[in-house]
Chain A
Amino acid sequence: MLSFVAQRIVKGVIVLFAIVVLNFFLIRLAPGDPAMVMAGEAGASDQMFVAQLREKFGLDRPLPEQLFRYVKGIASFDLGFSFRQQMPVAKLIMDRLPATLLLTMTAFAISLVFGILFGVLAARFAGTWADTAITILALVFYATPLFWIALMAILLFSVTMDWLPSFGYETIGAGYTGFAHVLDVGAHLIMPAATIGLFFMATYTRMTRASMLEVNRLDFVKTARAKGLRNSIIQRRHVLRNALLPVVTLAGVHSGTLIGGAVLTETVFAWPGIGRLMYEALLQRDYNLLLGVFVVCSAMVLIFNLITDLVYRMVDPRIEFAT
């Protein structure tokens, strides 16, 4: 197993390097650069000003040199300096990471728990009204754009009912501490987490249901029934455990992408996370910041993929680690 993990880490580093190089050139293909954006924002675009900015950001250097410097920095865990925010990229990302992790992990937990639960229920009562209701709801949540759900949630729970705050991570200026602070953050968290969670919950519900029904038809389940095992034991020990494999795969992929994938939700709810940071960096052509977020998100995907493979082994001991 150790050798498997070591090899995966080495491969991960190579993939990460390829991602850095590819994205380095890709984002420079987009028209405009940070100097032009900042000159535009300043309402001043004399040649000297733009040239000064380009020199300050190192954008006046040849591209290979810029790439070399960047990769050299990455090798020493230096993600560079944000052009626009005038702060180290690592600090900006680390400042935003807790908020994103809180949001996405909450959403992830909600979606996984309820997605599997509803999927099992739908499979258990397949063909009944309960199955139909769950399937239709899952389809609706799966097909509805996140931003629309977010806006409707704000309209209903903030504007109309005044139950939940419409934006932000906490009540600014309230100065809550201790449990009051936890409750305050929780109140702010409900809508954005539910918005993201609903989509993924719908995905897991559909997948769990389909997978459960498929496994239920397999021979070993028939054998278990023939042995006289109780249905609840068959479903829990034999069916669910096997049916979860594709769900685990999907959850593994999602858990990595969720780090940078909450762009819309973070923007609509003004959640101070990495998704928003990435979106703003893109609009401002803040190359270093954008690349930094890519690197962190890519690393997360690689790490979560590795964890997924390890969880696979736990869920299904028949699976061997292929090196």
Chain B
Amino acid sequence: MLKRVLVGLVLICGATTAAPAQEPKMGGVINAVIQPEPPGLMLALVQNGPTQMVSGNIFEGLLRYSPKLEPLPGLAESWTVSEDAKTYTFKLKPGVLWHDGKPFTSADVLFSIEMLKQTHARARGNMVQVEKVEAPDDLTVVFTLKQPFGPFLGIFEVGSMPMIPKHLYEGTDFKTNANNNAPIGTGPFMFKEWQKGSFIHLVRNPNYHVKGMPYIDGIYWQIIPDAAARSVAYETGQVDVLPGGSVENFDVPRLTKLKDTCVTGAGWEFFSPLAWMWLNNRAGPTANKKIRQAIMYAVDRDFAKDVIWNGLGKVATGPSASTIKFYTDDVPKYPFDPAKAKALLKEAGYNGEKVRLMPLPYGETWQRWGEAVKQNLIDVGFNIETIATDVPGSNQKIGDWDYDISFTYLYQYGDPALGVGRNYISSQIVKGQQFNNVEGYSNPEIDKLFAEGAIATPDSKRKELYEKAQKILVEDVPVAWMLELQFPTISRCKIKNLITTAIGVNDGFREAWVDK
């Protein structure tokens, strides 16, 4: 059997960011902001953003990903794919230890997969494609798929499939296991202390499996609930790192002008957050395709990018962000054209029926965006009523399909099969869900294209299928795509190599060092 051998060591040199010009220095502590306070640090049980950010230092996945979304060695040092693209064999790195000194082996991988199937919704969805997982020896794991699954190598980052210590969790009640509050992983940093409401302290793992790493002695994740206070904490030198989304967007230009401050938009390539407005395809004015198209023409997305998001991000062209695989901009275009929007409304016979607009209750930037869109829509003749709610209220309304237009942003996870298709295929129309196809769009052709795209080989075939799907979707406007969001990470320039992979700070600070 001819095998495609992907040797990780080659990739790690070529695909991470350029080698630092200076030699990393040992020592120092990084003070970073974490917001909101994570509900827990056990990645197998909790998968929210803050948990991933902190626990990405404690736990690890089999693979990591370069900014170009190429797989890099993680706990697996190499991997091979069979000719029929159904068997993936991972060779684990020898000599890896859990923080309590026990060796990491293939048994831990098998256990983690079984545990994640029970506790991790996204991992469970990804593992549907897997027929069996075997461990022929301590350092080998073989995944056999039911059928080829194009994005399979993209599901192994630490947040999607963290490795969990079998010796601490097997046979226990996962939810109440004492280790949930003092997690044990294989990562570059070990859990030290969590003062609820104040900080989480991680310290250097002296037995980390990458020689010489990590360089810093520890990390203090500081919990500051107010966005303005987070900005001030950076301004006054009390914290060194503001991960993307930590401060209100309108504070970003001011903070980036501060002395010795560096800013980067890198580290979001895997997630590629895409903002759009869900348009209820089932009932009300937005059930009419012409009215949905009118919304696309009516909304000034360049204004939103330049003014509300301070020039950060990129106007979206369709359902895929330009950073993920198989993106195409060869789709129908919707420039800001109020006249065309008015014409479409007239053509659609819109009679001034009330349209409920629900901004995302995620802070000031989103509220302002809601107001701007409301004004755009009123200008072309819509009768808009803004619905104000908090996060749980918004989730409930979306899950109950009780809205006409509702803002959101979702991650794309690097591949249309993982993060795009779910938002448009009919099987994902489920009442009570707050994500996926909550707009209620149903098109058998789209269902077929995404189903075939996930399992097609080679990639050129997948590209063809996904490009066709993008064209159809953009013509139908099931949702109103707004911006490819950019959440800049702001940090002191003395901190080097903070972000080296496609998941940014979620991948841990193992390569970060402080130039004292």
Q: Does B399 belong to the interface (CB within 8 Å)?
A: yes
Cβ-neighbour of A272 out of B120, B122, B198 (below 8 A): B198
A46 in contact with B198 (CB, 8 Å): no
Query: Within B8-43, which residues are at the interface with A (CB < 8 Å)?
Result: 29, 31, 36-37, 39-40
Residues of B contacting A46 with CB < 8 Å? 121, 124-125, 430, 433
How many angstroms between the C-alpha atoms of A272 and B194 in the bound complex?
Answer: 12
| Nearest CB in chain B to that of A44: its residue | B121
A-contacting 9-mer, from B80-88, B107-115, B233-241, B371-379: B233-241
A-contacting 9-mer, from B205-213, B224-232, B471-479, B507-515: B224-232
B395 in contact with A40 (CB, 8 Å): yes
| Nearest CB in chain B to that of A34: its residue | B392
| Nearest CB in chain A to that of B392: its residue | A32
* Most interface-central of B29, B223, B226 (chain A CB within 10 A): B226
Q: Can you name 21 A-B residue pairings with CB atoms under 8 Å?
A: A31-B392, A32-B393, A38-B39, A38-B46, A38-B48, A39-B395, A39-B434, A40-B395, A41-B39, A42-B46, A42-B121, A46-B121, A85-B40, A158-B236, A167-B224, A172-B199, A173-B199, A268-B228, A270-B222, A276-B197, A277-B197
B232 in contact with A280 (CB, 8 Å): no
How many angstroms between the C-alpha atoms of A277 and B47 in the bound complex?
Answer: 21
Number of chain B residues close to chain A: CB under 8 A = 56
Q: Does A124 belong to the interface (CB within 8 Å)?
A: no
How many angstroms between the C-alpha atoms of A317 and B124 in the bound complex?
Answer: 71
Interface string of B391-431 (1 = CB under 8 A from A): 11111110100000000001100000000000000000010
What's the minimum C-beta distance from B436 to chain A, rounded to whole angstroms?
Answer: 7
Cβ-neighbour of B233 out of A95, A167, A173, A273 (below 8 A): A167
Q: Does A151 belong to the interface (CB within 8 Å)?
A: yes
Q: Does A50 belong to the interface (CB within 8 Å)?
A: yes
How many angstroms between the C-alpha atoms of A162 and B232 in the bound complex?
Answer: 11
How many angstroms between the C-alpha atoms of A222 and B81 in the bound complex?
Answer: 101
A43 in contact with B236 (CB, 8 Å): no
Cβ-neighbour of A85 out of B39, B124, B195, B222 (below 8 A): B39
A40 in contact with B236 (CB, 8 Å): no
What's the minimum C-beta distance from B222 to chain A, rounded to whole angstroms?
Answer: 6
A47 in contact with B430 (CB, 8 Å): yes
B228 in contact with A272 (CB, 8 Å): no
How many angstroms between the C-alpha atoms of A169 and B199 in the bound complex?
Answer: 10
B224 in contact with A44 (CB, 8 Å): no
A49 in contact with B225 (CB, 8 Å): no
Residues of B contacting A33 with CB < 8 Å? 392, 396
Interface string of A138-164 (1 = CB under 8 A from B): 000000000000010011001100100
B121 in contact with A31 (CB, 8 Å): no
B48 in contact with A41 (CB, 8 Å): yes
Q: Does A8 belong to the interface (CB within 8 Å)?
A: no
Cβ-neighbour of B433 out of A45, A267, A279 (below 8 A): A45
Q: Does B220 belong to the interface (CB within 8 Å)?
A: yes
Query: Within A44-70, which residues are at the interface with B (CB < 8 Å)?
Result: 44-50, 56
Cβ-neighbour of B197 out of A42, A47, A96, A154 (below 8 A): A96
How many angstroms between the C-alpha atoms of A169 and B360 in the bound complex?
Answer: 32
Q: Does A118 belong to the interface (CB within 8 Å)?
A: no
Cβ-neighbour of A283 out of B29, B222, B391 (below 8 A): B391
A36 in contact with B201 (CB, 8 Å): no
Closest 3 CB pairs of A and B: A32-B392, A272-B197, A44-B121
A41 in contact with B31 (CB, 8 Å): no
How many angstroms between the C-alpha atoms of A41 and B45 in the bound complex?
Answer: 12
Query: Within B171-229, which residues are at the interface with A (CB < 8 Å)?
Result: 175, 180-181, 195-199, 201, 220, 222-226, 228-229
Cβ-neighbour of B198 out of A32, A151, A172, A268 (below 8 A): A172
Q: Does B284 belong to the interface (CB within 8 Å)?
A: no
Residues of B contacting A285 with CB < 8 Å? 392
Q: Does B352 belong to the interface (CB within 8 Å)?
A: no
Residues of B contacting A76 with CB < 8 Å? none
How many angstroms between the C-alpha atoms of A116 and B433 in the bound complex?
Answer: 56
Residues of A contacting B399 with CB < 8 Å? 36, 45
Residues of A contacting B40 with CB < 8 Å? 85-86
B232 in contact with A158 (CB, 8 Å): yes
Cβ-neighbour of A168 out of B181, B222, B394 (below 8 A): B222
A270 in contact with B121 (CB, 8 Å): no
